[in-house]
Amino acid sequence: MTQTLPQVTHENHERLLRHVNQMPEIGDSLLAAPADRVRTQLQELGTFLNSNLLPHVTASEATIYPELERMMQNRHSMTPMRREHEQIRLLAAEIVKLSADLDARHVTLGRAIALRRVVFQLYALLKIHLAEEETYIRIVEHGVTADVNELMAAAMAHPGVPEA
């Protein structure tokens, strides 16, 4: 039996949250850790953002949000979530941009503060956003047929998410 949309989404969110929950530690280390450690952490964070988080955002917009809008009679009910996705994309791009040319021996205080601010903004946004998505998934589950649920679950098995 294939997984349901809530199962797939919950597993996706669990994988995402393992990385998201490390973001405060990364943010705190920016002011004190050696430059090579900071660079490594930021490279890993950038890989996560581009390989896992952003494909999830794209899959949600293409799969879940249109169905929710249909169910809510196209009242633009997903506009706030779409705005958050745009903010997630902007913050992820800013982290990658600020991380791109870090000095091999030293991270300036200004750069560390700028990165820290963006990392914590993205962390806070993701914690709230992913929890809201879990709620929306329960709404979708009860409003679609089993075959649509299965199709949506398959579509949410997006790049960056290992098959279960």
How confident is the model over 7-24, as pLDDT tens digits? 888 888 999 999 999 999
Q: Tell me what pLDDT residue 94 has.
A: 97
Give the CATH H-level superfamily of domain 5-155: nmb1532 protein domain like (1.20.120.520)
The residue-averaged pLDDT of 105-110 equals 86
More confident residue, 19 or 78: 19
- Residue with structure tokens 């955002």? 57
pLDDT above 90 for 82: yes
How many other C-beta atoms are found inside a 10 Å radius of the C-beta of residue 32?
9
Q: Tell me what pLDDT residue 6 has.
A: 79
pLDDT above 90 for 125: yes
Q: Domain-by-domain residue ranges, the chain?
A: 5-155
The residue-averaged pLDDT of 75-84 equals 88
What b/e string do you get for 52-84 counting C-beta neighbours within 10 Å, with b at 16 or more? Answer: bbbebbebbeebbbebbbeeeeeeeebeebeeb
